[in-house]
A and B are shown apart, each in its own frame.
Chain A
């Protein structure tokens, strides 16, 4: 782990023990995406779990004949594409970089393998993932309530 890995703020990473963080980052590759570039499309095989180092990513779902709807945005320090570690490993939405974006990508299969061999690491990672998914679910529930609707 190098000092530059610490430069960006991330609730996911800071929620891990030092050991788990170091191991997670050692599995990561760095990817760059230009503004507007598609990171993955809905129904693609989900290979990588991504953590945003710098930039902004839109999560979109395409509705035939109605267009593409942006349903979420994720920014620095946030995780997306946890389908990489959830069977059947299919992306359920499209991810598109909104600005020039740098992400860390961890191969789902590599992460699962590491988890199988290292229980404490595994429990750390999955606890952090559950925390992320839970917070997104909270947000989605609130979105669904459509609280600004008058009816």
Chain B
């Protein structure tokens, strides 16, 4: 009886860890540009991947409010770290995107739109929190009223190899946000690391194709049990949680809570949280011109509600204080986002906690407001 060359969609398979290299090659042959975890500046970032040797194998991390440290592990795990500062939004919502250029010739205009910079990316190592962050941004950029051209094309062309976390950092709280640690949908392949193998769940035909000639075997009940245990262990490791059943109302009812003053005394309005947050999407436009005014360009760039003139109207800034801007960020993320997009904006990745220079923890802020706030 001839064995199937590729597994069917929804099947779970196991293969030796070294076989990931064959998956990489299959993807590259299919025209995908691989991006995923890499090491740079003593941190896990997202960079271009050529072979599995580019992955930070054997590394782990230690995260706490305001602190990130890379650690060497001695257990041969390939993916035993959690997201660093980078998220996948840098590809879907690039930090800089040329919109169009204009050449004036006498009284007429010639408007030119740049060629698409969307590539066929294979996102390697997407954690469940980050996968949910992409789903959140899908609701923003691929909506009934407007489809962002770059985001839409990039999204259609990408491959997702998700990784189910085998460790949680102390900043993580995806379990309470119901966004992890297991990736449940929206991936082409989802990988769980076992001590001696990778278990892969096939999410699509493209994912199935990527397993060609990798020596995969159907996962046994025992394999599935071990994988489930890995995820249960990750869930148990989580030290933080956010109660969400009373959001958004909790924040809407406490817009003048004294806690906002307290956090404002600590917040530097540095915008780190918005930069690292995988769902923050605010942008602005930059206008450029040559000296003669004959050629002009417009570029969309990342922006942050913490920037002081983000809310500039004639006469001044609508949100002139750190207090008002912190309140805006948090109430958008955990209250108005729900009214706007039908989900909360937070996926529990914990990046804002780790990368805040003064270690502000939004789970703590929300709990403090809940404790003494109006119901």
Contact = CB atoms under 8 A, between A and B. Distances in A.
User: Are chains A and B touching in the complex at the 8 Å CB cutoff?
Assistant: yes
Interface string A49-67: 0000000000000001111
B256 A66 contact: no
A41 interface: yes
B316 interface: yes
A36 to B, nearest CB: 11
Interface in B98-124: none
A64 B315 CA distance: 9
B315 A65 contact: yes
B256 A65 contact: no
Main secondary structure of the interface of A (DSSP, over half): loop
Q: Looking at chain B, what size class is its interface with the partner chain?
A: 10 to 19
A138 to B, nearest CB: 30
A45 to B, nearest CB: 14
Contact of B256 (A41, A64, A67): A41
Interface in B296-318: 311-318
Contacts of B94: none
B320 interface: yes
Interface of B: 256, 311-318, 320
A67 B313 CA distance: 13
A58 B318 CA distance: 23
Q: Looking at chain A, what size class is its interface with the partner chain?
A: under 10
Contacts of A67: 316, 320
8 contacts: A41-B256, A64-B313, A65-B313, A65-B314, A66-B315, A66-B316, A67-B316, A67-B320
B144 to A, nearest CB: 31
A41 B256 CA distance: 10
A98 B59 CA distance: 57
Contacts of A65: 311-318, 320
Contacts of A41: 256
B324 to A, nearest CB: 11
A-B residue pairs, 4 tightest by C-beta: A65-B316, A65-B315, A65-B313, A65-B318
B321 to A, nearest CB: 10
A34 to B, nearest CB: 12
Contacts of B311: 65
Nearest to B321: A67
A64 B312 CA distance: 10
Contacts of B318: 64-65
Most B Cβ at <10 Å: residue of A41, A64, A67: A64
Contacts of A64: 313, 318
A65 B309 CA distance: 10
A65 B256 CA distance: 18
B40 to A, nearest CB: 41
A98 to B, nearest CB: 18
Interface in A50-89: 64-67
A35 B64 CA distance: 38
A65 B312 CA distance: 7
B257 to A, nearest CB: 13
Given A65-B312, A65-B320, 14 more contacts: A41-B256, A64-B313, A64-B318, A65-B311, A65-B313, A65-B314, A65-B315, A65-B316, A65-B317, A65-B318, A66-B315, A66-B316, A67-B316, A67-B320
Nearest to A41: B256
Contacts of B313: 64-65
Contacts of A66: 315-316
Nearest to A63: B315
Contacts of B312: 65
